[in-house]
Amino acid sequence: MEHGSFSDQSKSTFSLADEDHTFANAVRFTLNQDPRLTFCGYSIPHPSDNRVNIRVQTTGDPASEVLKDACQELMLMSQHVRNTFDKAVNDFKIKNSKTKKNMDTSS
């Protein structure tokens, strides 16, 4: 849910349900990489409330567009981390299966 002004779309607060510090801090980090951003912060209204409020203020672009771009960039970063991790796991398994075969044949 977006809480903002109809006259100034460059400033908005977004309330995201079922999210916590993990997602909010990652989005905040990604948003802060964007040169269109002038301010970004987040808060969790109450520890027992699974909701996060993210405040976005831009140099003029719509805040919702900047947030959407940041989420897409975060998704790309996450996919890269996942692909790198999967490749490392596969390389490890291949290396260890060769080592195990070499141990089995030398016995």
List b or e across 8-31, with b for residues whose CB sees 16 or more CB atoms inside 10 angstroms: ebbebbbebeebeeebbeebbebb
Is residue 58 within 8 Å of 66, Cβ to Cβ? yes
pLDDT mean by block of 10 residues, the chain; 107 residues = 80 94 95 97 92 96 96 97 97 85 63
17 bridge partner residues: 51
| Distance of alpha carbon 20 from alpha carbon 104, whole angstroms | 49
Confidence (pLDDT) at 54: 96
Place of tokens 């079922």: 18
pLDDT of residue 2: 74
